[in-house]
Structure 1
Amino acid sequence: MMRKSLVLPVVAGLLAPVLVACGGSDGSSGDGEAIVVGTTDQFTATEESPAPLDPAFAYDTGSWNILRQSLQTLMHVPRGGGAPVPEAASSCRFSDNQNESYRCELRDGLKFAGGADITSEDVKFSIERVIDINSEAGAVGLLKNIDTIETPSDTEVIFHLKTPDATFPYKLSTPVAGIVDPESYEGKTLRDGFGVNGSGPYKFDAEVKDGKIVKAVFTKNDSYKGDLKLRNSKVELRSYPDAAAMGKALDSGEIDVMARTMAPGQIEEMTAKPKDSVELTEMPGLEIRYLAFDTDEPVGKEKAVRQAVASLVDRGQIASEVYGATAEPLYSLIPATITAHTNSFFNKYGEPNRAEAAKFLEDAGVETPVKFTMHYTTDHYGEATAKEFEMLKEQLNSSGLFQVDTKGAVWSKFRPAQTRGEYTVYGMGWFPDFPDPDNYIAPFLDEDNFLNAPYANPKVIKELIPQSRSEAERSAAASAFSEMQDIVAEDVPVLPLWQGKQYVAAADDISGVEWALNPSGELLLWELGTGSAV
């Protein structure tokens, strides 16, 4: 019978460890058949997105979930959360009091999966390569604070930062800082296609059809030396067009685990009508969804328009009627489960209020109805996205103040168009790169931001973000984060909508499920096994 388990770690700036019962078996799948995991993430190579798995280009949760298995980083966030710990490194530390110089010593015997030894020069090459390529679509912003990289010996690497940054160890734990084999990657050119060559816990191979990965195969890398403990020798990640197809694959035994992203209706049905031999696991999530505005575009640049939208959106209706128990209204970019969260949008706008929205527009002399199109991706965040945007359209249009259309596009077209600034208003989701409030602020408001957005607040960029990063004790940065959240609520360059929970359904002979998808949406496939978890 299906059992619903609940795993709720405490999130306070950093993720605190989770307690879980341990069984007597080591849970290893040994050399048996692969554990098969289903996903609705799509992995597509196109002319606009030619290098979906190059760490200099990739910046979506699905692609990073492939890279995390196959590339090694100097640091990683440990099981259950907390401060980063060494992975490819044997030790890392700030060597000054200003958090501007960070030194790492590599583990002995590190090798790429192809057999070549790894030295500090390979680390330097990998990270400088991302900075040199400087892809607009990528996560280069996480590394832009690096001034120089020094390699005094084959095993030591020193990062000299432009400004103090207490979050830098987290950034070294993300796939953009993955160590790649220089024999397979050029220094200033993206690697097209689906090849990945690194030193992670698994070797990676892709089964591709019509320019899409249909099956990602991860086989234990016997050369791997690092902090991660593998509980299996092989995992297959299979991509499905939607949650319904993925659910059928679980029912038929084609897959063992149904991961990202289950549909709200599936979760409700599996809770109400348990299935034999299937366990549904609910886990906390750090995912947020939001609307973003192009503040250079004629409609989007008018603050009164953005404030009027903020006055009309009914988050509670979206959460309850579209996502049910899987989502909660969100009134800040920083979710409620992260230290430094404030309800800045609720404090300013309160409940949906047409009169207030009309006053914003009238005071600014904006002619109504205001016309624009809201864009969303049809295949990246789950099938409920379309329903969400129809509800948003109805909420705005029913006020008589707006005349809004919606338009969807597949992610491989949506993301490049969004990056180029082709959309006035658009919907996005965000899983944090690392669980710190900085990663809900800087990617949207800093220079070289993730959205490639034109909005720039000098106080945020020049004063508040640097101030927050200078605090090694992260709780001491709360006042800076509080002020930045209030600025976002006032200017509305982005409009937070809701934050979500996560669910995984798995055959009941699969263990480690509660560890295999962390609150940041990261798949940690090495945690899966058969038998009891340890």
Structure 2
Amino acid sequence: MTDVVLGAGKTNRKTDRPQRRAAGRGAATGLAVGLVAATLAACGGDDGGGGAGGGEAAGEPWILGTTDKVTSLDPAGAYDLGSWTLMYNTYQTLLTIPAGENEPAGDAAESCEYTDPQTYQCTLREGLTFANGNELTSSDVKFSLERNINIADPNGASGLLASLTDENGELASNAIETPSDTEIIFNLSKPDTTFQFVLTTNAAAIVDEDSYPADSLIEPAQAVGSGPFMIEQYEDGQQAVLTASPEYEGIKEPQSEQVFVQYFQQPAQLKQAVENGDVDVAWRSLSPTDINDLRGTDSVEVVEGEGSEIRYWVWQLGTETGEQAAVRRAAAAIIDREAIAENAYAGTVDPLYSLVPPGFPGHIEAFADEYEGASAEEARQILDEAGVDVPVQLTLGYTPSHYGPNAVDEATELGRQLEDSGLFEVETKSAEWTQYQDLYKEGAYDLFQLGWFPDFLDADNYLAPFLVDGGFYANNYSNPAVNELVATEQAASDPVEREEAFQELQRIVAEEVPLIPSWVGQNLAVTAPGMSGVEETLDPSFIFRFWTVAKEG
């Protein structure tokens, strides 16, 4: 998922490269990210509440403060953390990832299972209802996923549903069958062990077919789901008001009747608000300096959780500069991740040498292996051998607020490193998030900054969305061998086979450099006194579960 959560504290890892700082944070601690069982039975369970639906929340209303931006409240129109945070709390998916876990459990579904490698079948809970009172049936599930695929909004996540499409990216005619109001059968176009995880994401959020148009996005005021909360009020860039839905049936029982989400333009405003008690929880994004200052404040608590957030730089292969492999490799040889971590983030993040974070099965430090001991001289040799004239003219793009206040510092640091090599002349440009998403796809930048939070906790989610035919960011990269390896690991049930494919994919990325990984961070929030349930939701999934959080009266 595209989208800073910053924190301090590091864990050591074994390495034969002592000159590099340990990068063993993120999902490494206590996280077994493996292939889950092919069958999901008895999908129930408790995710922080008192049972499925119907109960009355006891906690006081509370306020979440954030600098995140919302692109859309329509599941077909957004693929960013700010939007998905609201969606996870207002829409249902067939499956969900409970706090602190990494295997799917049922939400709208009572049970799900693979009946064969290309067939996945789910049965809905009885009595599901949207917040507007309309009944939720299998027809709504079919409509929702087909709608996402057919709309194919450039800012959406329809690409996650690729296993329901044919080789041309079109919806397969028999992709989704609904034998009854409670049964859904997914006929996958290829064996895909990750499809069960896709059904936990907002790409598969269920919308009301009687309220949502089949071929266009809804306005925020029209958003209606069947999740634990319903959106009572939304003002873009200002505030969202969520109220516990009396119609909800599932495992996400709200602990509070009402949640306010307050949007801030600047991290300094968010820091002041949490210090003054104007917000109860500050989550995304405070500067490293702000975090360190707040650690010494008695009136608030800095709560740290395991993280799997990464930051990386993407090459647009559709530009004259980005299409040259030698230019991409030269830049990869120059980048100093240690300096970025220290100078741009005050040491609160760890250098990242692969798309796949440490702790995920199959992780290797591919860029460290490929560019071990690299220098500006070696970068010059790469360019000379390819006949590339220097200095190379390069446009560097970033977005100034979406990824927190230090995005500009990282862009400045990387630009300085490239120019100090004498091999590049860098022009740095920025745009706010909504415009930025269009500009980077249009080729406005040769190299541009993005961030990622996992849609689900598997190495595939750090590879497939980035590498298959240009990825979600449409950077014009395509390699048939990469596509084949992705298909192999998605179809494999043997963990060893999957890990081997993951490792080969990482090696190809380091060699061809369609993008450059930069750093990995953790999940962090700041809370006022009297708040509970925050630490439980700060896990590597980066789902902020409003329903687990309560404020004492």
TM-score scaled by structure 2? 0.88
The answer to whether the Cα contact below 8 Å between 1:136 and 1:452 also exists between their aligned partners in 2 is no
The answer to whether the Cα contact below 8 Å between 2:354 and 2:363 also exists between their aligned partners in 1 is yes
Give 1:5 deviation, angstroms: 11
CA distance in 1 between partners of 2:305 and 2:392 (Å): 40
Rate the CA distance shift 1:450–1:385 in 2: closer, same or farther, 3 A: same
Per the alignment, in what secondary structure is the counterpart of residue 407 of structure 1? strand
CA distance in 1 between partners of 2:319 and 2:327 (Å): 12
Matched, 1:139 2:139: no
Moved over 3 A (4+): 4-9, 28-33, 192-195, 473-476
Give 1:131 deviation, angstroms: 0.8
Matched, 1:310 2:328: no
Listed as ranges, the matches of 1:5-44 within 5 Å are 9-14=29-34, 30-31=57-58, 33-43=60-70
Q: Percent identity at matched positions? A: 40
Rate the CA distance shift 1:345–1:240 in 2: closer, same or farther, 3 A: same
The answer to whether the Cα contact below 8 Å between 1:72 and 1:198 also exists between their aligned partners in 2 is yes
Listed as ranges, the matches of 1:347-358 within 5 Å are 347-358=369-380
CA distance in 1 between partners of 2:219 and 2:241 (Å): 19
Task: Spell out, residue by residue over 1:258-279, the C-alpha distance to the aligned partner (whole angstroms, 9 max, x if none).
Answer: 11112111112223xx212311
Q: CA RMSD in A?
A: 2.2
Task: Spell out, residue by residue over 1:400-443, the C-alpha distance to the aligned partner (whole angstroms, 9 max, x if none).
Answer: 11111211110011011112333221111111111110110011
Query: What residue ranges of structure 2 are gaps of 5+ in the alignment?
Result: 1-7, 11-25, 37-48, 165-171
In the alignment, which residue of structure 2 is the partner of 1:67?
A: 87
In the alignment, which residue of structure 2 is the partner of 1:521?
A: 542
CA distance in 2 between partners of 1:139 and 1:418 (Å): 17
In the alignment, which residue of structure 1 is the partner of 2:527?
A: 506
Letter in 2 for 1:400: G
In the alignment, which residue of structure 2 is the partner of 1:458?
A: 480
CA distance in 1 between partners of 2:501 and 2:83 (Å): 32
Give 1:473 deviation, angstroms: 4.5
Structure 1 residue corresponding to 2:304, chosen from 251, 266, 282: 282
Matched, 1:447 2:465: no
Letter in 1 for 2:210: E
Listed as ranges, the matches of 1:120-159 within 5 Å are 120-146=138-164, 147=172, 148-159=175-186
Give 1:452 deviation, angstroms: 1.3
CA distance in 1 between partners of 2:107 and 2:185 (Å): 16
Give 1:14 deviation, angstroms: 4.7
CA distance in 1 between partners of 2:341 and 2:541 (Å): 20
Rate the CA distance shift 1:294–1:194 in 2: closer, same or farther, 3 A: farther
CA distance in 2 between partners of 1:145 and 1:309 (Å): 35
Per the alignment, in what secondary structure is the counterpart of residue 238 of structure 2? strand
Give 1:188 deviation, angstroms: 1.3
Structure 1 residue corresponding to 2:223, chosen from 180, 191, 196: 196
The answer to whether the Cα contact below 8 Å between 2:306 and 2:538 also exists between their aligned partners in 1 is no
Rate the CA distance shift 1:9–1:336 in 2: closer, same or farther, 3 A: closer
The answer to whether the Cα contact below 8 Å between 1:137 and 1:419 also exists between their aligned partners in 2 is no
Letter in 1 for 2:528: A
Give 1:207 deviation, angstroms: 3.5
CA distance in 1 between partners of 2:79 and 2:356 (Å): 20
Per the alignment, in what secondary structure is the counterpart of residue 237 of structure 1? strand
Matched, 1:169 2:196: yes
CA distance in 1 between partners of 2:373 and 2:529 (Å): 43
CA distance in 2 between partners of 1:29 and 1:185 (Å): 29
Matched, 1:89 2:123: no
Listed as ranges, the matches of 1:176-215 within 5 Å are 176-208=203-235, 212-215=236-239
Structure 1 residue corresponding to 2:274, chosen from 236, 250, 258: 250
Letter in 2 for 1:74: L
Give 1:449 deviation, angstroms: 2.1
TM-score scaled by structure 1? 0.91
Task: Spell out, residue by residue over 1:354-400, the C-alpha distance to the aligned partner (whole angstroms, 9 max, x if none).
Answer: 11101100000100000111000111100000011111111010111
Structure 2 residue corresponding to 1:259, chosen from 249, 265, 283: 283
In the alignment, which residue of structure 2 is the partner of 1:434?
A: 456
Letter in 2 for 1:214: Q
The answer to whether the Cα contact below 8 Å between 1:243 and 1:262 also exists between their aligned partners in 2 is yes
In the alignment, which residue of structure 1 is the partner of 2:133?
A: 115
CA distance in 2 between partners of 1:505 and 1:261 (Å): 10
Letter in 2 for 1:56: A
CA distance in 2 between partners of 1:351 and 1:258 (Å): 40
Structure 2 residue corresponding to 1:328, chosen from 347, 350, 355: 350
CA distance in 2 between partners of 1:197 and 1:472 (Å): 37
CA distance in 2 between partners of 1:423 and 1:332 (Å): 22
The answer to whether the Cα contact below 8 Å between 2:90 and 2:226 also exists between their aligned partners in 1 is yes
Per the alignment, in what secondary structure is the counterpart of residue 38 of structure 1? strand
CA distance in 2 between partners of 1:76 and 1:32 (Å): 23
CA distance in 2 between partners of 1:34 and 1:5 (Å): 32
Rate the CA distance shift 1:363–1:344 in 2: closer, same or farther, 3 A: same
Per the alignment, in what secondary structure is the counterpart of residue 425 of structure 2? strand
Give 1:30 deviation, angstroms: 4.0
Structure 2 residue corresponding to 1:379, chosen from 387, 394, 401: 401
Per the alignment, in what secondary structure is the counterpart of residue 152 of structure 1? strand
Letter in 2 for 1:508: P
Q: How many residues align?
A: 505
Rate the CA distance shift 1:475–1:252 in 2: closer, same or farther, 3 A: farther
Per the alignment, in what secondary structure is the counterpart of residue 66 of structure 1? helix
Letter in 1 for 2:247: S
The answer to whether the Cα contact below 8 Å between 1:5 and 1:281 also exists between their aligned partners in 2 is no
Task: Spell out, residue by residue over 1:109-146, the C-alpha distance to the aligned partner (whole angstroms, 9 max, x if none).
Answer: 10011111111001101111001111122110111211
Letter in 2 for 1:153: S
CA distance in 1 between partners of 2:495 and 2:35 (Å): 12
The answer to whether the Cα contact below 8 Å between 2:275 and 2:299 also exists between their aligned partners in 1 is no
The answer to whether the Cα contact below 8 Å between 1:73 and 1:88 also exists between their aligned partners in 2 is yes
Structure 1 residue corresponding to 2:243, chosen from 199, 219, 236: 219
The answer to whether the Cα contact below 8 Å between 2:322 and 2:447 also exists between their aligned partners in 1 is yes
